Amino acid sequence: MKYLFLLLLSVASLPADVLLPNIFSDHMILQHGQHNPVWGRADAGELVRVTIAGQSHETVADSQGTWRVELEPMAASHEPKTLQVSGIKSQLSFTDVLVGEVWMCSGQSNMAWSINATNDYDMEIATADYPEIRLLSVPRVGTQDPQFDIEAQWKVCTPENVKDFSGPGYLFGRRLHTTLKVPVGLIYNAWGGSDLEAWLPRKVLEDAGQDAYLAEWDEYISKYSDAYLERQKVEYQKWLDAGKPGKKKFPARDVRTAQKRPANIFNGVLHPTIGYGIKGVIWCQGESNIGRAYEYRSLFPLLINTWRDLWAQDDLPFYWIQLADHNVEKSQPAESYWAELREAQTMALSLPNTGEAVVIDIGEARDIHYRNKQVAASRLVRHALANEYGYKIATSSPRYQSMEVDGNTITLTFDHVATHLYAFDVPEVKGFAIAGADKKFVWAQAEIIGKNKVKVWSDQIADPAAVRYGWADNPVVNLYDRNSLPVTPFRTDDWPIGTMGNKTMYRPMPD
């Protein structure tokens, strides 16, 4: 018995294997031109050595058994490298490592929409043979506990591997790869139906709730009280035991681990990847926050700035796809939560190193998941190619700049017009509405004047006060820059909007 005890004691005292999260694996792409962090776990006090391409870095695991080093910047390279990590007992080798451009692809279902459900899916899959594009799909894990690891590994882009990958993400990355002629890594971590709050850490949400927005955090988080979660657990189990009855479009979920609970996605999906060297983020989300568009004006910049802080990159590029057109269009001008959310997204352009792809013309009235991801990705990648890689191409859709009232007409001036404004398909400019001081909008006539001006009027409005364009769930619009970038939906008024009183954690900021 004594010998058995000593044997067990000696086994228990043996050094543990050095560990890394699975975001480090064979076939990975390291971001070129940056200090790339490499991190993991080992025994407290254990010496860890990391080597690659002639570099060698040593560190000692802290009292919690965690360690981290930073690789020196490397140039983009087609030559496969080996990353070796060794501790006292073990050594790990990751092969076929390339250095190039790494982008994170996040958001909800329109970013998660897979290649095998896009337009021309069969052709996209058949031609997806790009050995230097690498794909990492992060599993959907919802939890309140920050996770160290993910159950995933990098894969080489092949027709088989690309099928279930993000359509916008892959198409964005393919355009980068074929243009820049360097390896491209894509981290796909989108989750359909996710609220933006689920992508933020609880501490950030709590601090924001106690800040200048005068919000009551308890009022919001009470929805996720222990009692509520226990009831949901019971109801969810009943639904499972009954064989998942019903034909709901979105089946019941256990809210404890679902994608709407605040911080769930941050902890389970984002946290294991924080710090991995990336060039930037592409984002497509907002449908789940439609009813809280006014609040989104604060939430969206909060998310962008928080992620920049987490990656310690103040200038981290962050580009998004604006909400597409959707739903059956109304016959008369009306208020629109969708339009309000688009406005909130556009307002985030006030942050530096951001960009928006306007897709008000490619949505589908009867399906929130539009199939034309090719156009969305092409408009999105313009920002990266121009801003990060120096290509002399247009990036932004034309945006409203100013207006001038003259009698019964309003003349609008637009900026970000690269060539000149153009009415697509038919000569008549469609999509404008005009109102007087009574705030009652009617459809308007419009005429393009020169390169970047539009005159708007209606015989029904003698003294116009405001103009709106594309202000609807699914507007009929046809005004473009001649380079095929559609004009950004807008309104010239600052009248109260429908979602001003809708909130989770925020109240409107005081004047």
What's the CA gap between 485 and 5, in Å, rounded?
74
pLDDT tens per residue, range 302-343: 999 999 999 999 999 999 999 999 998 777 899 999 999 999
388 to each of 58, 133, 276, 417, how far by Cα in Å?
Answer: 32, 18, 19, 21
Looking at the DSSP assignment, which residues form a beta bridge with residue 404?
Answer: 411
Query: What's the pLDDT score for residue 510?
Result: 28
pLDDT band with cut points at 50, 70 and 90 for residue 143: very high
Residue found under tokens 């459809």: 443
What's the CA gap between 320 and 297, in Å, rounded?
14
Tell me: pLDDT of 11 over 50: no
The chain-wide mean pLDDT, for the chain, equals 91
Q: What sign does the dihedral 50-53-56-59 (CA atoms) show?
A: negative
Q: What mean pLDDT do residues 43-64 have? A: 97
Query: What's the pLDDT score for residue 94?
Result: 98
Query: What's the pLDDT score for residue 363?
Result: 97
What's the CA gap between 412 and 467, in Å, rounded?
9
pLDDT band with cut points at 50, 70 and 90 for residue 24: very high
Q: Are 442 and 433 in contact (CB under 8 A)?
A: yes
Tell me: pLDDT of 89 over 80: yes
What's the CA gap between 330 and 64, in Å, rounded?
60
pLDDT tens per residue, range 93-115: 999 999 999 999 999 999 999 99
Q: Where are the domains of the chain?
A: 17-188, 219-262, 293-511
Query: What's the pLDDT score for residue 12?
Result: 41
- pLDDT > 70 fraction of the chain, expressed in percent and rounded: 90
Let me know if the fold of 17-188 is the same as that of 293-511: yes
Tell me: pLDDT of 1 over 60: no
Tell me: pLDDT of 16 over 90: no
* Sheet with 445-449, side-by-side order of all strands: 399-406, 409-415, 453-457, 445-449
Tell me: pLDDT of 181 over 70: yes
Q: Are 252 and 76 in contact (CB under 8 A)?
A: no
What's the CA gap between 342 and 344, in Å, rounded?
5
pLDDT band with cut points at 50, 70 and 90 for residue 295: confident
pLDDT band with cut points at 50, 70 and 90 for residue 252: low
Tell me: pLDDT of 124 over 80: yes
pLDDT band with cut points at 50, 70 and 90 for residue 507: very low
Tell me which fold the domain 293-511 belongs to. Answer: Immunoglobulin-like (2.60.40)
pLDDT tens per residue, range 399-450: 999 999 999 999 999 999 999 999 999 999 999 999 999 999 999 999 999 9
Tell me: pLDDT of 88 over 60: yes
The model carries a pTM of 0.92
Mean pLDDT check: name the lowest of 238-247, 327-336, 383-392, 438-447.
Answer: 238-247
Q: Are 69 and 52 in contact (CB under 8 A)?
A: no
Query: What's the pLDDT score for residue 232?
Result: 74
Q: What mean pLDDT do residues 267-274 have? A: 98
Q: What mean pLDDT do residues 376-383 have? A: 98
pLDDT band with cut points at 50, 70 and 90 for residue 223: low
Say which residue, 493 or 6, is predicted with more confidence: 493
Superfamily of domain 17-188 in CATH is Immunoglobulins (2.60.40.10)
pLDDT band with cut points at 50, 70 and 90 for residue 251: low
Tell me: pLDDT of 14 over 60: no
Looking at the DSSP assignment, which residues form a beta bridge with residue 364?
Answer: 367
Which two structure tokens, joined as six digits, stand for 199? 């992508």
Query: What's the pLDDT score for residue 208?
Result: 75
Helices 202-209 and 293-310: crossing angle, nearest 10°?
130
